[in-house]
Chains A and B, each alone.
Chain A
Amino acid sequence: MRTFVFAVFAFLYLPIALVVLFSFNAGHHASEFTGFSVQWYGKALSNPFLVEALKNSLFIATTSALLAAFCGTAAALGLQRVGARTRALFDALLGAAIVVPGVVIGISTLVALVQLFAVLNPFLASLWPTDQPPRLSLGYGSIIAAHGLFSMALVTMIVGTRLSSLDRNLVEASSDLYATPLTTFRSIVLPQIMPAVIAGFLLAFTFSFDDFIIAFFVAGAQTTLPIYVFASIRRGVTPEINAIATIVLCASVLLVLLAQWQLGRRKPSP
């Protein structure tokens, strides 16, 4: 059995290792390693389309993860204070946001937004004093919102789990000692849930940064890194893509390790 398990680990890591190895290949060919070089990293980072896509992805992932962390944490706190019925309704919607396939989230957001813009744009134009009214269209906003939906549900669940294991005695002790609710929140609750919030943020960031299918539908004229990579892969495998893949893999691993570390951090002792 040990042999089998090690074979599985090899199966998991060999493809990744090959991509990393060939990203340092001096030659063009994928089948033979002809010497060590970092030229493909240079080529990748001086490709303006690629850099633009990378910037877009970083901006979208950061914004949607921040929004998700903020709204998700607020929702988790709010859900502690409501009745069973409201809670069940919220839980069902949050569960749906996680379970509904990404393709469906993508197309339904596309369909709904296009329809909404068709109504809103003429309306805005009629209100606007000059000839160039702002036009709502698909782009950053729609990707951020669609990614944020899944991420927010994720953050709400992670923070909610943490809240339910929070020591209520500390909260009571704090208010018995005449701390205002705000002080209690700042010095008791927040420090205890912070690791969960940060972990949620990092996972949300990773998800948004990696997502292809939702962005593919709602990106409009924008390009994200996965969309760019997908398009270039379909044109053929190049060492440049190996270099990007390696950078992205390293970044994801770092983020996930950071998230794990945050989640595993002991609660600060009172």
Chain B
Amino acid sequence: MSAGSQPALSMRGSLFRKNLMTALLLAPAALWLVVFLVLPFVAIAIFSVGERAPEGGYQAALTFAQYANLPARATAFWNTMVLAPAGALACLLVAYPVAYYLALRAPDRWRLILLALIVIPFWTSLLMRTYAWMYILGGRGIPALLAYVGIEDLRLINTPGAVLLGIVYGYLPLMILPIYVSLERLDRRLLEASADLGATPLSTFLGVTLRLSLPGVMTGFSLVMILLLGEYLIPTLLGGGKVFFIGNALVDLFLQSRNWPFGSAIAITLVLVSVVVLIVANRISTRLSGARRVDLI
């Protein structure tokens, strides 16, 4: 600021103007965050200790009955808690070789194009992409082709396998990107050094490449895992009401049976589980990068 020569009073005025400006800049975002994030969250927290009104909706109360009732939706929790990590793991197994190829093997002039080709599907509608698989796995798709060669009555859609496939398909790009970033940053001299010191390609991969890409793996895994915890479309369209997720239970409770307090308790539990996943992932990442620092010294 070039206010050094001005009298103190006007300096205070300009400080006031500066603060006012800052407040004006932040006000709309702050208002939005409070009205549409903080207040709604407080609302479902209050609802979760309430009771269902006779005609549906909410009735004030202070009870933990809703939380005690959580086992009533154990199947949804079980499916989510099994299929979300399994889906993230399956994503990882497919994504790692792709990220590895893109970061370390692909010809330079192709790299960005290939990367863009990975990102584009992620930004196109998940609904449309999941729908494409309904089409392929459904009666007139692969089953029709298989019937043609004599394999009859094979059920593909509405199975946990179909849901898993949909998950891998939908979230693959989100897993590839962070792993690609961590592999791309990798100092290639380390790979040469490892080879010079007589390590086999496999032990170089395990000891150097894989090890140094673990933070990226963790980022991708926790991102996909968090998003899967709240997934609704894939289990609905490819699981056909047989593979229920927590998201399905929430839609059912809020829009069909109108049991808002119980739904709120499930929603709060879901958020808490997500927070735990994030904290665990953060811990592991910190430890991984800590280990890396020690290794390098």
Q: Is A26 on the interface with B (CB-CB < 8 A)?
A: no
The closest CB in chain B to the CB of A256 belongs to B123
- Which of B25, B144, B169, B232 lies in contact with A103, CB distance below 8 A? B232
- A269 cross-chain contacts in B, Cβ below 8 A: none
**Beta-carbon contact of A104 and B271 below 8 Å:** yes
Interface size on B, residues (CB 8 A): 79
Beyond A12-B121, A15-B169, A103-B230, is A149–B37 a contact (Cβ under 8 Å)? yes
Residue of A nearest to B241 (CB): A234
Does A124 reach chain B (CB closer than 8 Å)? no
CB of B227 within 8 A of CB of A101, answer yes
Complexed CA–CA distance, A4 and B172 (Å): 14
- Name A112's contact: one of B43, B119, B144 (CB within 8 Å): B43
Main secondary structure of the interface of A (DSSP, over half): helix
A262: Cβ under 8 A from any B Cβ: no
- Min Cβ gap B261→A in Å is 10
For A102-114 the 0/1 string (1 means CB < 8 A from B) is 1111011111110
Cβ of A75 < 8 Å from any Cβ of B? Answer: yes
Would you call B32 and A71 a contact (CB within 8 A)? yes
Which residues of chain B are near A242, meaning CB under 8 Å? Answer: 135
Known A-B contacts A101-B270, A104-B270; A82 and B226 likewise in contact (beta carbons under 8 Å): no
Partner of A111, one of B2, B30, B40, B270: B40
Contact B125 A78 (CB under 8 A): no
> Given A30-B140, A146-B36, A260-B116 in contact, is the A102-B230 Cβ separation under 8 Å?
yes
Does chain B have a CB within 8 A of A229?
yes
Q: Which of B134-163 contact A (CB under 8 A)?
A: 134-136, 138, 140-141, 144
In the complex, A105→B36 CA distance in Å?
A: 8
- Do A237 and B254 touch across chains, with their CB atoms under 8 A apart? no
Residue contact B26 to A79, C-beta cutoff 8 Å = yes
Residues of B within 8 A of A100 (CB): 37, 41, 271, 274
- CA gap between A149 and B35 in the complex, in Å: 10
A15 to B169 Cα, complex, angstroms: 10
Given contacts A156-B29, A217-B254, A249-B128, contact A19 B135 (CB under 8 A): yes
Closest to A102 in B: B230
Q: Would A78 and B26 count as touching, CB distance under 8 A?
A: yes
Within the complex, the shortest CB–CB distance from A162 to chain B, in Å, comes to 16
Once the chains are docked, how many angstroms separate the CA of A24 from the CA of B116?
26
Interface residues of A (CB under 8 A from B): 1-2, 4-5, 8-9, 11-13, 15-16, 18-19, 22, 29-31, 70-72, 74-75, 77-79, 81-82, 86, 90, 93-94, 96-97, 99-105, 107-113, 115, 145-146, 148-149, 152, 156, 175-176, 203, 206, 209-210, 212-213, 216-217, 226, 229-230, 233, 237, 241-242, 245, 248-249, 252-253, 255-257, 260
